[in-house]
A and B are shown apart, each in its own frame.
Chain A
Amino acid sequence: MVTTIVRLMGRTATASGQFGGEVILGLLAEEPSGSYQLDRRLAERFGSVGYANGMAKQTLKRLRKTGLVRPVDAEADVTSPPGVSRAEAVMFEPTSAGIKHFRRWMWASITAPPVREELHAKIALCQPNDMPRMITLVREAVAVCAGRLQDLNVETQARRKRADPERWSSRMDVIVTGGDQAWWESRIKWLQRVRIYLEQEWRTYQADPHSRVA
């Protein structure tokens, strides 16, 4: 079971790397920014994900190469705040291809658990009109997590039936499995809360589209 946890954590780390580009695109779609400013916005909005400082700079380079972002005004005379280099202060905005890419990612299903991190980013970046799709995504995520919990239980049952209750390692295994179960349980409960909250927000928005959205 320890290997399962390690595997899951590994997956989380790669997932963060993979969807980092979309997060940057989403932030730029909200407001054009330079890499220095992006790092600060990332920390503010996605603090718990723990993106490395300097991640924005590298991602911007990659996104620019693939034509998804461009400098807002290459000719403009950039005045950088003290301690920030000129390169870090150049403002970027998404191209139309970038916007299209971001929209596609927003609405795409998340099937590979752990689903929290990617979903976390989507919810943070979603606009009122995205809410019905976000609610569906959360529902799918609950189903995936419940399926995973069930698989874990089936596996645990089979292993315990074979196991020798007198053996130390079998007893320790109980503790570790409990941790895995608690992990899925908390994930399911978090997702359920998110869904209910989004549904409330959506109802409020439908009742009066101007009430809560700036």
Chain B
Amino acid sequence: MDALLSFQNVSLTFPRGHRHVVRALADVSLDLARGELMAVLAGRAQGKTTLLRAAAGFDKPVHGKVVYKGRDLSHLSDRQLSGLLTKQIAFVESIGPDLDLPVISHVALPLLAVLSENVAYERANTTLRRLGADEYADQQWSSLADSERVLATLAQGLVREPELLLVDDLMAALGMGATEQIGRLLHTIAREDEMSVLMSTSDAEATTWFDRVATLAGGELYVPPPSEPDGNVIDFPSNQPRSA
């Protein structure tokens, strides 16, 4: 199996005060294949965010290594890492933006450093339309409902056209059925774009459309073996037409 991202015996601890350390990840190993969707199911304070932050290279392991496309993330320079995070790895979390701007501006923001304003806004628009979120593109971020905010946040990640999307507990605020639908939307997009997704969640329904469901507790990860490929079943197309 061609792993896009792999954790090799990763342990990560944080100091708490002078004498104690908090064990956030304990000897975690996983292989995420290209195009694979893996969900990490866990309750609060079990290491979900740390796992995803380590996958994005934000937090460096104390032991072991995190390898993306054969490169150890902790050996990259800040410049190389930030390049990776603009173009290939997108990390999205439910913490909202500091400034209250229209949704479209927030979605276009990651692209403004590398593309012209026109192109950036056009791509932001396409991404929002693809998620079925274009109708509130011009609304202020603070005026969005929870489910709309989830889609807009995903758009911020997807607009980079990443190869790896890291989603940190984005759906905690959503109700029955909604998490499954968003999981399904991610599934469709990931299959169309051959994108890999690593998502943490505390809701089993959100994992319905994921290829594998790992569980995490006290920093220990259990990853079940890969399931059988989809076979000949044809995916539902996403609800929104893709623009050219």
Contact = CB atoms under 8 A, between A and B. Distances in A.
Interface of A: 139, 142-143, 146-147, 149-150, 153-154, 156-158, 160-162, 174-175, 177-178, 181-182, 184-185, 188-189, 192-193, 195-196, 199
A150 B224 contact: yes
20 contacts: A139-B222, A142-B215, A146-B213, A146-B215, A147-B224, A149-B207, A153-B207, A156-B208, A157-B208, A158-B233, A161-B235, A175-B176, A182-B205, A184-B204, A185-B41, A185-B204, A189-B42, A192-B217, A193-B43, A196-B217
Contacts, number: 74
Given A150-B224, A161-B234, A181-B204, A196 B218 contact: yes
B228 interface: yes
Contacts of A196: 217-218
A21 B184 CA distance: 47
A58 to B, nearest CB: 39
Interface of B: 41-43, 46, 176-177, 180, 203-205, 207-210, 212-215, 217-218, 222, 224, 227-228, 233-236
B222 A142 contact: yes
Contacts of A153: 207-210, 213
A147 B218 CA distance: 19
User: Chain B interface secondary structure, helix, strand, loop or mixed?
Assistant: loop
B205 A178 contact: yes
Contacts of A175: 176-177
A158 B208 CA distance: 11
A188 B227 contact: no
B42 A192 contact: yes
Nearest to B39: A153
A149 B228 contact: no
Contacts of B207: 149, 153, 181
Closest 7 CB pairs of A and B: A192-B217, A185-B204, A181-B204, A196-B218, A146-B215, A161-B233, A189-B43
Contacts of B224: 143, 146-147, 150
Contacts of B42: 189, 192
A188 B46 CA distance: 13
Contacts of A193: 43, 217
A154 to B, nearest CB: 6
B227 A150 contact: yes
Contacts of A157: 208-209
A139 B218 CA distance: 12
B212 A150 contact: yes
Given A178-B177, A192-B46, A192-B217, 7 more contacts: A150-B213, A153-B209, A154-B228, A157-B208, A175-B176, A178-B180, A192-B43
Contacts of B41: 146, 149, 185, 188
B203 A185 contact: yes
B192 to A, nearest CB: 15
